[in-house]
Amino acid sequence: MVAALELYLDVDATRRVRTLWRALETEGIPTLGSLHQKHRPHVSLAAARTIDPVAAAEALDGLAVGRGLTLRMDFAGQFVGRVLWLGVTVTGALLDHHRAVHERLAAGGVPIWEQYQPGRWVPHCTVSLRVPNPMMAPAIRRCLEILPLTATVTGAAIADHANDIAHPL
């Protein structure tokens, strides 16, 4: 199980990422579009095995989580374990917002995985969690076809798709 604080993208950016998902699926590469069929294109500010959505919402009360942030995706990358993603270019505004969110979550007693903490977080929009090894290079090339991609954050939620949790913030 994985729960995350997800930032959602504007309509045009969402459409472009979903188009990428469909193109990769056509080539036999599984994407978030087919996993649970509940995922929306997003950038996660925080993740953990579980996140109590009520505790997180209370900790973040009064903070417009992600609203108005502009995210620019300029590169593709991969994490160990065949995870493919679109990389978000780091800005001062993004890092400041990320830090503010984590300070509030910590003060509210909401535990978050270490790799999502300020100073360790790699901002990204996940494309696939399991690209077959022989397909990684073609998948990266396909990702590069839609870049650069600029997105405005239009919403946020605590999401745990395996448990049907989607708690708007």
What is the distance between the alpha carbons of residues 75 and 26, in angstroms, rounded to a whole number? 22
Domain boundaries of the chain, sorted by first residue:
3-168
| Distance from chain centroid for Cα 54 | 20
Q: What is the pLDDT of residue 161?
A: 86
What is the distance between the alpha carbons of residues 66 and 157, in angstroms, rounded to a whole number? 10
Average pLDDT of the residues in 114-121: 97
Distances (CA, A) of 122 to 118, 148, 149: 9, 17, 17
Residues 22-45: pLDDT tens digits? 999 999 999 998 866 678 999 999
Statement: 3-168 belongs to CATH 3.90.1140.10: yes
Token duo for residue 129: 């969690």
Q: What is the mean pLDDT of the chain?
A: 95
Helix (H, G, I), strand (E, B) or coil at 143: helix
Residues 54-72: pLDDT tens digits? 999 999 999 999 998 999 9
Average pLDDT of the residues in 110-135: 96
Average pLDDT of the residues in 112-140: 96
Q: What is the pLDDT of residue 162?
A: 85
Residues 77-114: pLDDT tens digits? 999 999 999 999 999 999 999 999 999 999 999 999 99
Confirm whether pTM is higher than 0.75: yes
Cβ-based neighbours of 52, under 8 Å, separated by 6 or more: 110
What is the distance between the alpha carbons of residues 131 and 80, in angstroms, rounded to a whole number? 11
At residue 1 the predicted structure's pLDDT band, cuts being 50, 70 and 90, is low
Residue 73: name the closest of 153, 168, 3 by CA: 153
Look up residue 150 and give its DSSP letter.
Answer: E
Q: What are phi and psi of 41, to 5 degrees?
A: -55, 135
With 90 as the cut, is the pLDDT of residue 73 above it? yes
